[in-house]
Amino acid sequence: MKELEKVKVFLFDLDGTVYLGGNLIGDVKNTLNKIRAKGVKVGFLTNNSSTTKESYFAKLKNLGVFFDGDFFYSSLDCATDYLLDKNREGKIFTLATEKVKEHVKSRGLNVVDDENSANVFLLTFDKELTYEKLVKANRLLGKKDVLYIATHPDSVCPTENGSIPDVGSFIELLSHSSGRRPDVITGKPYGVLAEYIIKKLGVKSDEICMVGDRLYTDIAFGENSGMKTVLVLSGETKEEDLKSSTVSPTLVLPDVNYIQV
Ligand SMILES: [Mg+2]
C-alpha cells in the first residue's frame, strides 16, 4: 500500500483491533508475521490500564501475537514514566486494582493509602473500585495543589458481553462530585503519550502508523502527533461514523488483516 510505504513501526490498539475479548480477529498472527518479515516493527499500544505490562505480555504471548523485539506500551506505563520524570517525590493516592497498585510501587513511586497525606491523584481503570475509594478520591481532589493524572479518556471498554464503564466515566463522576478534571491524561489521544513513544522508538512520527478501531482515541492520537493512521472497522466504529468525524484516517480497512506492507 503506497500510503504505508515509509512506515517503520505499526502500533496496534488491542481491544477491537487485535482481539475482541479473548478471540483474535481473523488471522492476525499471520498478518503480524508478514509485517515482521519485511523488517517493520510491530508494537502494541493500549489505553486499558486495568492491568500491568507483564499481564499483557502473558496474554499476547499466549495468543501467539507477541514476540521478542516487539514493542509494548500502555497509558499506565506512560503515567508512571511521567510521574518518575516530573513528580518522583510525589505521594500518590490511586484508584487502581491491587495488581496495578503494586506495579506502580515497583516502579519506585510512593503510593500511599491515606488520601490525607497524598499530593498526587492517579486515576486508572480500577475494576476493584468501591464507594469508599471514591469518597477518598473526592476528598483528595478537594485539597489545593493536588496533581490529578488520569490514564485515559475512554468512556466505556468493549467486552464480549457489551460495554462496561471505563475511566472516562469515572472522570465525569469525579468532575460532578469534586469540580476537578485531570491535569494530565497519559493515554491516546494525548500528546504526552506520543512524546514518550517517539522517544522510545527513536523514529520520526511520520514513520509510525497507528492502527485502531476508535476515531476519538486511536485515530485522533495518530493524527495529532503526525503519524499515519489506519482505522479498522472490526471494533467500535462503523463506516457511517466517518461522515460526522473531525478526524480523518490515512486508510480505512475492514480489519487489520487487510494491511499490506
Ligand atoms: Mg480499541
Q: What pLDDT, in 10s, does the model give residues 177-225?
A: 999 999 999 999 999 999 999 999 999 999 999 999 999 999 999 999 9
Q: Identify the helix (H) or strand (E) that includes residue 11.
A: strand 9-12
Whether 163 and 212 share a structural domain: no
Task: Fill in the DSSP letter of residue 122.
Answer: E
Instruction: Give the distance (Å) from ligand 1 centre to CA of residue 17.
Output: 6
Measured in angstroms, how far is the CA atom of residue 201 from the centroid of ligand 1?
22
The DSSP-derived string for 136-164 is HHHHHHTSTT-EEEES---SEEEETTEEE
Residue 63 lies in a domain: no
CA-nearest of 239, 235, 224 to 193 is 224
Calculate helix-pair angle for 98-106, 75-86, nearest 10 degrees.
40
70 found inside a domain:
no
Residues 160, 103 within the same domain: yes
Q: How far is the CA of 146 from the centre of ligand 1 (A)?
A: 31
**How far away, in angstroms, is 213 Cα from ligand 1 center?**
5
Closest residue by Cα to residue 129 from 94, 102, 168: 94
Mean pLDDT of 235-257: 94
Q: Give per-residue pLDDT as tens, 27-64.
A: 999 999 999 999 999 999 999 999 999 999 999 999 99
* Distance of CA 255 from the midpoint of ligand 1 (Å): 12
Q: What is the pLDDT of residue 101?
A: 98
* Distances 196 to 79, 173, 201, 229, 250 between C-alpha atoms, Å: 10, 29, 9, 18, 23
Same domain for 169 and 203?
no
Distance 232 CA to ligand 1 centre (A): 9
Q: Do 250 and 193 belong to one domain? A: yes
Q: Is the pLDDT of residue 160 over 80?
A: no
Q: Name the average pLDDT for the chain.
A: 96
Query: What's at 240, amino acid-wise?
Result: E
Cα 124 to chain centroid distance, Å, stands at: 11
Let me know whether 208 and 180 are in one domain: no
Q: Is residue 80 part of a domain?
A: no
Residue 121: count other Cβ atoms within 10 Å of its Cβ: 27
201 and 168, same domain (yes or no): no
The residue from 185, 219, 242 where one domain ends is 185
The CA 10 to ligand 1 mean position distance, Å, reads 15
Cα(235) to ligand 1 centroid in Å equals: 7
Same domain, 92 and 173: yes
User: How far does the centroid of ligand 1 lie from the alpha carbon of residue 110, in Å?
Assistant: 31
126 and 205 both lie in a single domain: no
Distance 75 CA to ligand 1 centre (A): 13
C-alpha cell belonging to residue 225: 502527533
Among 22, 21, 60, 26, smallest CA distance to 42 is for 60
**Cβ atoms 90, 120 nearer than 8 A:** yes
Total tally of structural domains belonging to the chain:
2
Distance 136 CA to ligand 1 centre (A): 30
Domain of residue 219 covers 2-47+188-258
- Residues 16 and 96 occupy one common structural domain: no
In a domain, 149, yes or no: yes
Which run of H or of E encompasses 210?
strand 208-212
CATH classification at residue 244: 3.40.50.1000
* CA 237 to ligand 1 centroid distance, Å: 9
Are 174 and 120 members of one domain? yes
Q: Is the pLDDT of residue 116 over 80?
A: yes
CA 147 to ligand 1 center in whole angstroms? 28
- Residue 97 CB partners (closer than 8 Å, separation 6+): 50, 51, 124, 126, 127, 128
**Ligand 1 center to 12 CA (angstroms):** 9
Would you say the C-alpha torsion 78, 168, 18, 163 has a positive or negative sign?
Answer: positive
Domain edge (last residue) among 185, 208, 223: 185
CA 172 / ligand 1 centre spacing (Å): 20
User: What's the CA-to-centroid distance between 144 and ligand 1, angstroms?
Assistant: 35
Residue in this structure with the C-alpha cell 471498554, named with its chain if needed: 157
What is the Å distance from ligand 1's center to 15 Cα?
4
Residue 55, in any domain of the structure: no
Could you tell me if residue 59 is inside a domain? no
pTM passes above 0.85: yes
- The answer to whether 59 touches 134, Cβ cutoff 8 Å, is no
Point out the domain boundary residue: 140, 170, 185: 185
Residue 120 lies in a domain: yes
The rounded Å distance from CA 118 to ligand 1 centre is 33
**Does residue 161 share a domain with residue 220?**
no
